[in-house]
Amino acid sequence: MAETRDHPQALEDIRVLELADEKGLYCGKLLADMGAQVIKVERPGGDPTRDIGPFYQDRPHRERSLFFWHYNTSKQDVTLSLETPEGRGLFRRLAAKTDIIIETTLPGSLEALGLGYDSLAADNPGLIMTSITSFGPQGPYSQYKAPDIVGVAMGGMMTVCGEPETPPVQPYGGQAYHAVSCQAAIGALIALYARGLTGRGQHVQASMQAAVAFSTEFTNLWWIYQKLNLKRHGSRHGASGPGPVGNICHTKDGYICIMGGNPPLDWMEREGLAGDLKGHPYWSNPALRRDPQVSLHVFGLTDAWTRTHSKMKLFHACQAQQINWAPVYSLEEVHADPHIQARDFFVEIEHPELGARFEYPGAPYKFGETPWSIRRRAPLVGEDNSEVYGALGLSKEELALLAQAGVI
């Protein structure tokens, strides 16, 4: 079930207009699940992101996209054509009563429609516009469109993903989209705080390429300070070379991640599988730790031993010895994990039109006084047209005429 709400949510009095594609959906979700009234603005008939699979019961339909369901919880939805004068007028009226706009159009597109930040802020000086683009509004790539794979490629993340002998691979899970959405949400909230000090809004710019480059761990530092391009190490951590620290080892029933500390050499020796590891100068000699042949030898012996045990046995035994090893979970194991279950991470959300409840990933953070909560499932196409436009004073007859004209 969704978390109970005994207290107001953190952003309960904040209104957001979301005019976003895949780059900004998660930004809007983060704000919505913290309590903001996020109004998703779609083109009449529905946004293309509703066509992204997989689909509920494998039946492709704009109201059954599981991708869309996940990224649009707690949002309201209106349809609106910004290509019509009437649509632009309605958007301006909505923006005049809005705290934050999230938009992912190409730089200059909204200005060409007369809906740029300066124009809208003239009517609403407290407005915060958060523009999420592939490369930012300045520079030679500013007008380029780019999906997630381009973001991780040109942000520097992909070059260190994959096996040494193969081309780079795209990390799974929309990493560029999530990175820029998180940075955009942070920027919007900081601008909101600044507005509380100055009374004025501002234009926040978030670049997908820059967000990936910003979050690509220590690889940037190696280049900046030592002019070294780190190589791909497959499942091994790039900082440690191919030794056992930062490796994925086989087990009887899967894999275990080895990060930091020596393996349990006494345990390995008792079972006759330590080889020459106990007392090996590898553990104290930094030069040997960077020697590929020596570290591969150490890894080979460690992997041969881990194959004789289950990953959970290794996990619990090593954690008890303060050795930082962890099982590599399947998605089924993530759901069944007792720690995840104890924290009530997964929540059930009602889909009344389907007469069913569905499980969703829950809170990425928990608040002591202003609870996180998925308040509703993703909206249907234009589900809130009557409520949102009615609040602007439009009658049912006027809305019907606007729909007939293709404005909403």
* Sign for the pseudo-dihedral over CA of 237, 239, 242, 246: negative
Q: Which CATH architecture has domain 247-328?
A: 2-Layer Sandwich (3.30)
Q: At which residue do the structure tokens 């035994």 appear?
A: 317
Q: What is the CA radius of gyration of the chain?
A: 26
- CATH 3.30.1540.10 in the chain is located at 247-328
Peptide bond into 361 cis (omega under 30): no
Print the SS3 string covering the chain: CCCCCCCCCCCCCCEEEEECCCCCHHHHHHHHHCCCEEEEEECCCCCHHHHCCCEHHHCCCCCCEHHHHHHCCCCEEEECCCCCHHHHHHHHHHHCCCCEEEECCCCCHHHHCCCCHHHHHHHCCCCEEEEEECCCCCCCCCCCCCCHHHHHHHCCCHHHCCCCCCCCCCCCCCHHHHHHHHHHHHHHHHHHHHHHHHCCCCEEEEEHHHHHHHHCCCHHHHHHHHCCCCCCCCCCCCCCCCCCCCEEEEECCEEEEECCCCCCHHHHHHCCCCCCCCCCHHHCCHHHHCCHHHHHHHHHHHHHHHCCCCHHHHHHHHHHCCCCEEECCCHHHHHHCHHHHHCCCCEEEEECCCCEEEEECCCCCCCCCCCCCCCCCCCCCCCCHHHHHHCCCCCHHHHHHHHHCCCC
Q: What is the pLDDT of residue 216?
A: 85
Q: What is the pLDDT of residue 116?
A: 98
Nearest CA among 87, 46, 80 for reference residue 63 = 46
Q: Which residues pair with 186 in a beta bridge?
A: none
**pLDDT by 10s per residue, the chain, length 408:** 444 456 899 999 999 999 999 999 999 999 999 999 999 999 999 999 999 999 999 999 999 999 999 999 999 999 999 999 999 999 999 999 999 999 999 999 999 999 999 999 999 999 999 999 999 999 999 999 999 999 999 999 999 899 888 999 999 999 999 999 999 999 999 999 999 999 999 999 999 999 999 988 778 777 888 888 878 877 776 655 444 456 899 999 999 998 866 899 999 999 999 999 998 898 888 788 778 788 889 889 999 999 999 999 999 999 999 999 999 999 999 999 999 999 999 999 999 999 999 999 999 999 999 999 999 999 999 999 999 999 999 999 999 999 999 999
Q: Which residues pair with 132 in a beta bridge?
A: 206
> Alpha-carbon distance 121 to 129, whole Å?
9
Q: What is the pLDDT of residue 193?
A: 98
| Burial group, residue 165, by CB count within 10 angstroms (0-12, 13-18, 19+) | exposed
User: Which residues are designated catalytic?
Assistant: 237
Q: What is the pTM of this model?
A: 0.93
Q: What is the pLDDT of residue 61?
A: 96
- CATH 3.40.50.10540 in the chain is located at 15-217+341-404
**Top CATH class, 15-217+341-404:** alpha beta
Q: What is the pLDDT of residue 51?
A: 97
Does residue 208 contact residue 136 with C-beta atoms inside 8 Å? no
